[in-house]
């Protein structure tokens, strides 16, 4: 992973990272409130060596004192010193080992000073323990230090000042706990973001699609923020209008095997709920508005919706033609958009795949190619059924819609493989609901509805930036 990829991951999951950091800081702060308070008192013991009056003697004495201080520091937490302090304090229920856990002795670098510290639940108790240990240490130094040949003490320990009861607790330290909480929160936040990135199979960027197929990205349809929580599809908004115009322009560059006929294409998706029907309707609309003659066919014989989108009669249509009960001209309906003609699905049949793979369907598409500049067929998703793969073979190719909020790499790969196995071609992909940063797919069934939660308003072409198919 490159550094730019790492920052992209953090940008995608910054909200969860912030929540983890906030939670860690919250835990750290709560711990500072609930953990038992400890108070630390300190006293300094200065060690001197009496070796002479000359400069050399004093220097030697200072070096000797520093060497001796390290030894006395070790002695300070031994029973030899602590037992006396216990006796002085009257701590009959405490032994030397227990008191040693509360007492520590440190020596600042380059000095002959021992700093005696004691951490206790009570500030007065901490000061009393420090004074008792310091006094016992001074006595121990006098007993353990060597004497001169004349019997004079060569090492002397002096308490510089009595310990004072601390005014505030030393543990838990709010600053320390919050600092550690922040560090752990950052590590945990970044860790969960990387794990989510690792296991997230959704489409995160276009480079992932480039690894799956050489087919180009024909369009990117934005997600209107006003429609994020809406269950109603909407007409093309000013946010998505330019996206559809770009898609129209790109589609006009797509060639056909026969330049004397119009372009025929099937629009599908890997899973339900990705907005394929809305994109089919709106692409047909913007093409017609540009002066192209367009035939929009509802080839989703599992869950047809185009007639409902556009407020048209759906009792006759594609299936009526395919079973020979009517001619194409008898079921075509004009939409409210000039140059846009619609063929609804007709009655839902028990055998959609057989009808779409029939010779009658091929003849219909050939005829449409001779009479219209564009023939757009909206078809069922590829993940549950193979209808779209069949039609991809009979048309100039398929335009695959991928909802960047829900579509996964395995789903898109499966859809592409289905079209390839059917000897169909991919014109390109359309990324739907695109926004900065990148639900379940529902289920498709034999002849029931696949759920997407959208309620369709008749009478208008609807936008793909909603929860529609």
pLDDT tier, 1 (very low <50, low <70, confident <90, very high otherwise) = low
What's the angle, vertex CA 214, arms to CA 208 and CA 215, rounded to 5?
100
The mean of the pLDDT values for the chain is: 83
Cα 370 to Cα 320, 329, 344: the distances in Å are 21, 14, 20
**What percentage of residues in the chain have a pLDDT greater than 70?**
83
* Residue whose entry in the numeric block shows the structure tokens 């060690």: 47
Distance CA 43, CA 133 (A): 10
Closest CA to 318 of 340, 346, 354, 342: 346
Distance CA 119, CA 42 (A): 9
> Which residues is 105 bridged to in the sheet?
116
**pLDDT for the residue 241:** 83
Residues in CB range of 180: below 8 A, 6 or more apart: 28
Q: For residue range 62-77, what is the model confidence (pLDDT) as tens digits?
A: 556 667 788 888 899 9
Name the strand (E) or helix (H) holding 194.
helix 174-199
List the structure tokens of 173. Answer: 């330290």
Distance CA 345, CA 40 (A): 83
Distance CA 412, CA 274 (A): 12
Instruction: Output the furthest CA–CA distance in the chain (Å, rounded).
Output: 133
Closest CA to 469 of 335, 282, 319, 251: 282
Q: For residue range 279-324, what is the model confidence (pLDDT) as tens digits?
A: 999 999 999 999 999 999 999 999 999 998 888 988 899 999 999 9
Sort 334 into a burial class: Cβ within 10 Å, 0-12 / 13-18 / 19+. Answer: exposed
Identify whether the C-beta of residue 287 lies closer than 8 Å to the C-beta of residue 444.
no
* Residue whose entry in the numeric block shows the structure tokens 């970044």: 190
Give the residue-averaged pLDDT of 209-227.
79
Domains of the chain, start order: 3-35+173-198 (no CATH), 39-159 (3.30.70.1130), 204-434 (3.40.50.300)
Strands 333-334 and 217-222: unpaired
Strands 113-120 and 155-159: unpaired
**pLDDT for the residue 56:** 44
Distance CA 323, CA 346 (A): 11
1-15, 136-150, 231-245, 374-388: least confident range: 231-245
E-state strands within 162-284:
217-222, 263-269
């Amino acid at each position: 992973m490159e550094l730019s990829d790492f920052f992209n991951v953090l940008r995608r999951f910054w909200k969860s990272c912030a929540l983890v950091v906030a939670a860690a800081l919250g835990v750290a702060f709560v711990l500072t409130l609930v953990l038992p308070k400890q108070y630390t008192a300190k006293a300094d013991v200065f060690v001197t060596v009496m070796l002479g009056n000359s400069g050399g003697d004093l220097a030697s004495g200072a070096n000797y004192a520093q060497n001796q201080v390290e030894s006395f520091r070790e002695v300070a937490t031994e029973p030899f010193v602590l037992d006396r302090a216990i006796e002085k304090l009257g701590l009959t229920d405490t032994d030397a080992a227990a008191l040693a856990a509360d007492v520590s002795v440190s020596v600042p670098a380059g000095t002959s000073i021992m700093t005696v510290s004691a951490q206790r639940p009570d500030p007065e108790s901490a000061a009393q323990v420090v004074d008792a240990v310091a006094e016992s240490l001074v006595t121990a130094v006098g007993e353990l230090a060597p004497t001169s040949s004349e019997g004079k003490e060569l090492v002397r320990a002096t308490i510089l000042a009595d310990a004072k009861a601390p005014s505030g607790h030393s543990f838990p330290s709010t600053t320390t706990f919050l600092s550690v909480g922040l560090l752990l929160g950052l590590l945990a936040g970044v860790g969960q973001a990387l794990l989510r990135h690792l296991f997230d199979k959704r489409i995160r960027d276009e480079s992932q699609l480039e690894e799956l197929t050489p087919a180009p990205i024909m369009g990117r349809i934005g997600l209107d923020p006003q429609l994020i929580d809406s269950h109603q599809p909407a007409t093309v908004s000013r946010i998505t209008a330019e996206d559809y115009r770009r898609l129209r322009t790109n589609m006009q560059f797509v060639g056909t095997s026969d330049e004397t006929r119009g372009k025929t294409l099937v629009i599908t998706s890997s899973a339900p709920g990705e907005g394929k029907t809305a994109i089919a309707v709106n692409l047909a609309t913007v093409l017609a508005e540009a002066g192209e003659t367009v035939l929009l066919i509802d080839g989703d014989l599992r869950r047809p919706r185009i007639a409902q989108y556009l407020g048209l009669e759906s009792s006759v249509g594609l299936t009526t033609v395919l079973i020979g009960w009517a001619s194409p001209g008898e079921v075509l309906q004009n939409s409210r958009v000039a140059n846009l003609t619609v063929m609804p699905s007709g009655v839902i049949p028990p055998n959609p795949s057989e009808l779409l793979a029939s010779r009658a369907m091929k003849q219909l598409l050939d005829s449409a190619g001779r009479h219209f500049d564009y023939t757009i067929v909206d078809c069922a998703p590829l993940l549950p059924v193979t209808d779209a793969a069949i039609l991809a073979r009979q048309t100039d190719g398929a335009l695959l819609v991928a909802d960047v909020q829900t579509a996964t790499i395995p789903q898109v790969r499966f859809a592409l493989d289905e079209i390839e196995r059917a000897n169909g071609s991919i014109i390109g992909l359309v990324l739907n609901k695109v926004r900065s940063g990148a639900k379940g797919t529902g289920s498709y069934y034999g002849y029931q509805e696949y759920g997407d939660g959208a309620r369709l308003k008749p009478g208008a072409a609807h936008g793909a930036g909603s929860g529609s198919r």
